[in-house]
Amino acid sequence: MEHPIAVIDFGSQYTQLIVRRIRELGYFSKLYQPEELRETGEPAAVILSGGPRSTLEADAPDIDFDYLVSMGVPVLGVCYGMQLLNRKFGGEVAPGNTREYGPATLLAEKSIEGIFNDLEGHSQIWMSHSDTVSELPEGCQVMGTNLDGIPVALKWNDRFFGIQFHPEVSHTHEGQKILQNFLEMGVNLPKFKIASFKDELVQRVRDEVGERKVVCGVSGGVDSSVLAALIHESGVDSRNIFVDTGLLRKDEAEEVASLFGEVGIEIETIDASEKFLSALKGVTEPEEKRRIIGRLFVDVFFDAVGEDVEMLAQGTLYPDVIESATSGSIASTIKTHHNRVDRIMEMKAEGRVLEPLDELFKDEVRELGRVLGLPERVVGRHPFPGPGLAVRCPGEITEEKLKIIREADDIFIGLLREKHWYDSVWQAYAALIPTKTVGVKGDERSYEYALSIRAVTSEDAMTAEWVHLPYELLGEISNRILNEVDGVNRVLYDISTKPPASIEWE
């Protein structure tokens, strides 16, 4: 897609959200590093993100200001971006007395046309900065202040604007309206709709694959399912491999086979459960378990498809690209040297790795799946970790523990669906606590495992809040698990946020 709205990344933890918010408004946006400004082509607009550094530092991130001016498009500086622009226009920035972090109130100047048009008035905004604008350049207008009268929004001319707060976070109540107002100053805004973008992706697959055969690893999760459906839609020669690691949820292998059969996509199932459980016997250290699972998965996969793979498809998403990671890929869990992983990287360098979802966010992949005709039970599915139930089974992994987790998880997720909570939760699961506690079952004392259930909401897995499930539902979940799952005599509800906790246990 040509001429995206360019977001320049100065390192803010919220930068990805700017891109997402713009896409939610129906426009196409991409992230670039400051040194890539000239590579943005002819963007409809440019946004300079916030960042953790100070513009006063000698080696602070910079921008080619003369080129930015010559582009002739609207420019919005956010936090660090605003301070940088103020200095470029001849103003000054000074260290603040204290770091300002959290909610504040925006008092917008009604008399100045621009990004605050049609706001409601006293609007909540979200601050995260330490420096502040100390001197304004000639001709600069203050578009808004906080309750203390300190400028938090500037207008240097009809194309350059700056705000000291983050419009992209939900805590800024009218952030989307501010972004919409800014973008409407541009021309030829690149529209973005998944339904029309699908055809572009299908053509991309055809062009990249050509006459070669592409191999795709499927798991039943959202990313790999949408990837397989897209490749199938493109009509290229493909082969889909599903590896049963023995670390899947209850009846998952059968459900995956049924799903792909329902949509007319052929898959090959490799039952390697004994290999994985044997390799994990006696291992308790979390990272070592991940290494074993990752390395063995790659070996099993390539043993099935052979060494002469013409092209490999991976479900890499845009956040993976931004973070220079491959969390959607076959090699994602490998943390140590491995010959076959090296070969995957060589294939990528040779143009033999297909990653057609690498410009999409998770919610966009879900929507693409719907457009491709995948059922809602797939596209609306909660995330599931690559190492499977291994991350929900602290300590040594055994068949007994896995059975407990599977049965408890099946009850938990089943009740969330039955009570219409599943779609309101970003991720939910049951995890075994690696300790046994004293309980009473019948007329006898028991000494069995404790189990934790967890349900969180999140946008991008960077942060997460626990879900306030009704007490009655929690009680029913606990009662059913205790009555129906052998080996458990205590159920706990995990109410930890991320941070400081992670979403998964390991």
- Give 218-263 pLDDT, tens digit per residue: 988 899 999 999 999 999 999 999 999 999 999 999 999 998 999 8
Bridge partners (DSSP) listed for residue 123? 106
Residue 499 domain flag: no
Locate 294 and state its tokens.
């990752």
How far is 236 from 231, CA to CA, in rounded Å? 7
Domain CATH for 84:
3.40.50.880
How far is 227 from 314, CA to CA, in rounded Å? 8
User: Looking at the structure, do residues 36 and 162 belong to the same domain, yes or no?
Assistant: yes
How far is 12 from 35, CA to CA, in rounded Å? 16
User: Looking at the structure, do residues 375 and 402 belong to the same domain, yes or no?
Assistant: no
Residue 188 domain flag: no
Count how many Cα atoms sit within 13 Å of the Cα of residue 439 in the half-sphere of its side chain. 19
Could you report the per-residue pLDDT of 160-197, keeping only the tens digit for each? 999 999 999 888 999 999 999 999 998 889 988 888 88
pLDDT of residue 170: 82
Which domain range does residue 93 map to?
5-183
User: Looking at the structure, do residues 308 and 169 belong to the same domain, yes or no?
Assistant: no
pLDDT of residue 346: 81
Residue 424 domain flag: yes
Cβ count within 10 A of residue 487: 16
How far is 356 from 313, CA to CA, in rounded Å? 8
User: Looking at the structure, do residues 70 and 161 belong to the same domain, yes or no?
Assistant: yes
Active site residues per annotation: 79, 166, 168
pLDDT of residue 335: 36
How far is 330 from 91, CA to CA, in rounded Å? 50
Residue 384 domain flag: no
Locate 268 and state its tokens.
């090959």
Residue 386 domain flag: no
pLDDT of residue 382: 93
Find out whether 460 and 498 touch, Cβ atoms under 8 Å: no
User: Looking at the structure, do residues 139 and 16 belong to the same domain, yes or no?
Assistant: yes
pLDDT of residue 129: 64
Q: Would the pTM of this model clear 0.85, i.e. be above it? A: no
Count of the separate structural domains present in the chain: 3
Q: Give the domain-ending residue among 348, 379, 410.
A: 379
The one-letter amino acid at 237: D
User: Looking at the structure, do residues 67 and 147 belong to the same domain, yes or no?
Assistant: yes
pLDDT of residue 336: 39
pLDDT of residue 326: 30
Find out whether 462 and 469 touch, Cβ atoms under 8 Å: no
Q: Give the domain-ending residue among 349, 379, 409.
A: 379
User: Looking at the structure, do residues 206 and 349 belong to the same domain, yes or no?
Assistant: yes
What residues in the chain have per-residue pLDDT under 50?
324-338
How far is 120 from 138, CA to CA, in rounded Å? 29
Locate 75 and state its tokens.
């420019």
- In angstroms, what CA-CA distances link 305 with 107, 242, 274, 301, 439? 62, 11, 19, 6, 50
Residue 389 domain flag: no
- In angstroms, what CA-CA distances link 444 with 450, 483, 486? 17, 15, 15
Sign of CA dihedral 182, 188, 192, 193: positive
pLDDT of residue 338: 46
User: Looking at the structure, do residues 145 and 229 belong to the same domain, yes or no?
Assistant: no
How far is 298 from 391, CA to CA, in rounded Å? 18
Q: Give the domain-ending residue among 379, 412, 434.
A: 379
User: Looking at the structure, do residues 150 and 223 belong to the same domain, yes or no?
Assistant: no
pLDDT of residue 187: 86
Sign of CA dihedral 10, 15, 16, 22: negative
Residues of the chain with pLDDT > 70, as a percent, come to 93
Domain CATH for 437:
3.30.300.10
pLDDT of residue 287: 92
User: Looking at the structure, do residues 178 and 206 belong to the same domain, yes or no?
Assistant: no
Q: What are φ and ψ of residue 264, in 5° steps?
A: 80, 25
Bridge partners (DSSP) listed for residue 133? 93
Residue 392 domain flag: no
User: Looking at the structure, do residues 280 and 408 belong to the same domain, yes or no?
Assistant: no
User: Looking at the structure, do residues 126 and 198 belong to the same domain, yes or no?
Assistant: no
Domain CATH for 296:
3.40.50.620
Radius of gyration from C-alpha coordinates of the chain: 26
